[in-house]
Amino acid sequence: MPSDLYNLNSAYGSEEELKHCIEEMHSQDLLALGDVVLNHRCAHKQSPNGVWNIFGGKFSWGPEAIVCDDPNFQGRGNPSSGDIFHAAPNIDHSQEFVRKDIKEWLNWLRNYIGYDGWRLDFVRGFSGSYVKEYIEASNPAFAIGEYWDSLGYEHGDLCNNQDAHRQRIVNWINATGGTSSAFDVTTKGILHSALHNQYWRLIDPQGKPTGVMGWWPSRAITFLENHDTGSTQGHWPFPRDKLAQGYAYILTHPGTP
């Protein structure tokens, strides 16, 4: 839930401590990915009619930077190019000044803070074509999009065929011109059921793995858990008694675990 994008001081430490941490990672031949939230941004002030849509900090945007179809924040921009995130104002990436500011910020993160690449949050919210522009401008070593929506279910059970789900993720990768990879949410969801003695779920009619890794392995980032699904939020935790099997699967199959 970012507000002032240039303020990297937090409960975890100061901006200088963050830079030092990244320098230490680099000294051990590790790359550091910044978790960049570009879809939405929290406002600093209320408008005269009491709506939180006035931004502060270096990017002092107003309602013109918010999509007009966000139902909560009275944006005056163009309609959204994706899904609405309801907890904060949804940014209008069709605005040239917004894209210019974001590209400037990403390059600051790369060149001054030291990040090597990006984990792109809630990319369902805006077109992958904008991600392509941001990636080409900031030249990351690696980029991952979090395109997370629900798999197909029928009467509470996972549907046999999840091609529509992985197609949506592949469509997003395509929209970025293949410049970004994406989390293989399809594989995570299928593994939840497959490891409860439904191993037939792991092969599609073409003999390929059933997740994104079966269609575009070089752009599939496989995982079992993230900060939304497990951890303290626990929205969709991986079966605890199947973790070793899950890791064995993603470590021995295509994709980048």
Full pLDDT tens readout for the chain, 257 residues:
999 999 999 999 999 999 999 999 999 999 999 999 999 999 999 999 999 999 999 999 999 999 999 999 999 999 999 999 999 999 999 999 999 999 999 999 999 999 999 999 999 999 999 999 999 999 999 999 999 999 999 998 999 999 999 999 999 999 999 999 999 999 999 999 999 999 999 999 999 999 999 999 999 999 999 988 988 888 999 999 999 999 999 999 999 99
Q: Is residue 156 part of a domain?
A: no
Q: Is residue 165 part of a domain?
A: no
Among 70, 92, 121, 184, the one annotated catalytic? 121
Q: Is residue 153 part of a domain?
A: no
Q: How many domains does the chain have?
A: 1
Q: Is residue 204 part of a domain?
A: no
Tell me the residue type at 82: G
**204: annotated active-site residue:** no
Neighbour count for residue 44 (Cβ, 10 Å): 14
pLDDT at 133: 98
Mention every residue, 6+ apart, whose C-beta is less than 8 A from residue 229.
188, 235, 236, 237, 238
Which residue bears the tokens 């303290």?
232
Mention every residue, 6+ apart, whose C-beta is less than 8 A from residue 172.
123, 124, 128, 145, 147, 182
Q: What is the CATH number of the domain that holds 91?
A: 3.20.20.80
Distances (CA, A) of 107 to 2, 57, 82: 17, 17, 25
Return d(Cα 8, Cα 242) in angstroms, integer.
37
Return d(Cα 192, Cα 169) in angstroms, integer.
19
Angle at 225 (CA atoms; ends 224, 230), nearest 5 degrees:
140
**Would you state the structure tokens that stand for residue 146, as one six-digit string?**
């979090």
Among 70, 92, 133, 146, the one annotated catalytic? 146
**121: annotated active-site residue:** yes
pLDDT at 233: 87
Q: Which domain holds residue 12?
A: 1-146
Return d(Cα 60, Cα 44) in angstroms, integer.
9
Q: Is residue 17 part of a domain?
A: yes
DSSP sequence for 167-230: HHHHHHHHHTTT-SEEE-HHHHHHHHHHTTT-GGGG--TTSS-SSGGGT-GGGEE--S--TTTS
**Would you state the structure tokens that stand for residue 213, as one six-digit string?**
């890794």
Q: Is residue 256 part of a domain?
A: no
Helix, strand, coil share of the chain (percent; to 5): 35, 10, 50
pLDDT at 33: 97
